[in-house]
A and B are shown apart, each in its own frame.
Chain A
Amino acid sequence: MIAGILLALAAGALISVQTLFNNKVSASVHSHTTTALVLGMGFIASLSMGVLFEGADFFNWRAMPVWFWFSGLVGIGVVTCVVRGVNLLGPSYAISIVMSSQLLCALWWDSAGWFGLEQVPFSPQKAVGVIALIAGLILFKLKPREMREAAADI
């Protein structure tokens, strides 16, 4: 239990570091180049880990549905949008919105049973979650800088 939780926390922390590293790259090059670099690095690293864990078995691929080939295009949307969002909003605020959008889309699609997902009914607990998330986001957006400006206006 504890080991699993620590690993999940480590994964989250690594995503944060990755976000800031990618942001650093995008300060020097265009977001298209940043996206290509990030996906290329991910590809090489995943290939290495796959071969490390599974050896030659890694290359035993079954014939697969055509849509699998296009799923990689979603990754371009992910990296490009997150890099641009972080660039424009700053890391914490951008990541708060990305996470909220992620959770709300998951809730929406789960409740609707889209994409072959097992339909999960909407519950009062989920409603509380949505309200807490959005209220938290709005409070978070009250940046100290804006508060100072507001104070100066008065």
Chain B
Amino acid sequence: MKGVIYALLGGMFLTLQGTANAAIGDYLGTWQAAVLTQGIGFVAAILIVLFTGDRSWRQLSQVKLPFLFGGAFAAFILFSNITAFHHNGAAVTVSGVLIAQIIVTLLMEKAGWFGTVPIRLKTPQWVGLGLMIIGILCLSF
């Protein structure tokens, strides 16, 4: 249940962030908006680490190097997103991103990549996936 609440809040924050970034991007430029929001977020997150006395960063050396750069993908994601938006507009881009995201996540988890526990998919999961894709398309267009 706790996980569900985190996931729901995560989605809400994502939409809030998308709305704010669109407004900031119109005013400053898309890259400037990305640098501003992630820079402020980074500084505040460091302060949270300091204030909460979280010393787990010492274990960062145990994490295999490539995984540390996950955050840097944000720049490529943003670039693809802006370019796709420019070509096709919001509906196609938003639905394309979301559909690819759920399918690729599912396939990687099915294959047990990157330390995930492989899941078994049966008919309800595939039907559920199909319905979610229909839902994404209905809500995006």
Contact = CB atoms under 8 A, between A and B. Distances in A.
Interface of A: 1, 3-5, 7-25, 27-30, 32-33, 35-50, 53-54, 58, 61-62, 64, 68-79, 81-82, 84-85, 87-92, 94-107, 109, 115-117, 125-126, 128-145, 147
Given A15-B101, A46-B34, A96 B132 contact: yes
B84 A92 contact: no
B84 A135 contact: no
Contacts of A74: 13, 16-17, 20, 37, 41
Contacts of B32: 50, 58, 61
A5 to B, nearest CB: 6
A134 B138 CA distance: 13
Interface of B: 2-4, 6-21, 23-24, 27-29, 31-32, 34-46, 48-49, 52, 54, 56-57, 59-60, 62-64, 66-81, 83-88, 92-93, 96-102, 104-106, 108-109, 113-117, 119-122, 124-125, 127-141
23 contacts: A7-B80, A8-B88, A8-B97, A15-B73, A22-B71, A24-B114, A25-B67, A30-B49, A50-B34, A69-B36, A74-B41, A76-B41, A78-B17, A85-B7, A94-B3, A98-B14, A100-B11, A106-B18, A136-B127, A136-B129, A140-B124, A140-B129, A144-B119
Nearest to A126: B139
B124 A142 contact: yes
Contacts of A135: 128, 131
Contacts of B20: 71, 74, 115
A139 B138 contact: no
B13 to A, nearest CB: 4
Nearest to A127: B138
B127 A33 contact: no
A142 B24 CA distance: 41
